Amino acid sequence: MVDGMWTFEQLNTMSVTSLAESLRILVVDDFVPFRDTLREFFDEFVFIEVVGEAGDGNSAIQMAFELIPQVILMDVRMPGLTGIEATRRIKRDLPAIHIIGVSSFDDTVTREAMEAAGSSAFTAKIFVHTLPHIISRVTGKDVAQRTPCVRSRHG
């Protein structure tokens, strides 16, 4: 790293998926309660680690370069720089990152815009419970295993 940023040489030698490690995920959405819900949801999965959160497209780009996640969950419609444009810019410079578009709107125009920008997949927010399976499909790594629930016995 140089000045907190990965060099292109380091980026070119990094493996996007590793069988021994959790997938590193960046969550991008302007609605904080939705980001909180996703973080809590992914805490239940053994092989998924939320490494960062961003509330707009510009922050998403900056954090993508700083954190180099394997997957970015990208809200499509955000104030300022949209998820579509942020996806286009990230994929231009970091093509190995899988970006999954998420939106409150499940329409053909939105899906096609995210696909044209370079997203690996798209889902409506009402189907976020399917994200572990979508992530498994786009990365080729089975991440759908939940963390075992540990209950203490008192009494």
Burial of 7 (C-beta count, 10 Å sphere; 0-12/13-18/19+): exposed
Polymer length in residues for the chain: 155
Q: Note the pLDDT of residue 146.
A: 77
Residue 71 token pair = 């997957």
Question: What is the reported pTM?
Answer: 0.82
Q: Hey, what domains does the chain have and what are their CATH numbers?
A: 23-139 (3.40.50.2300)
Q: Are the C-beta atoms of 38 and 128 separated by less than 8 Å?
A: yes
- Summarize pLDDT for 78-137 with one digit per residue, the tens: 999 999 999 999 999 999 999 999 999 889 999 999 999 999 999 999 999 999 999 999
CB 95 within 8 A of CB 70: no
CA distances (Å), origin 154, targets 149, 151: 16, 9
What's the farthest any 2 CA atoms get from each other in the chain? 58
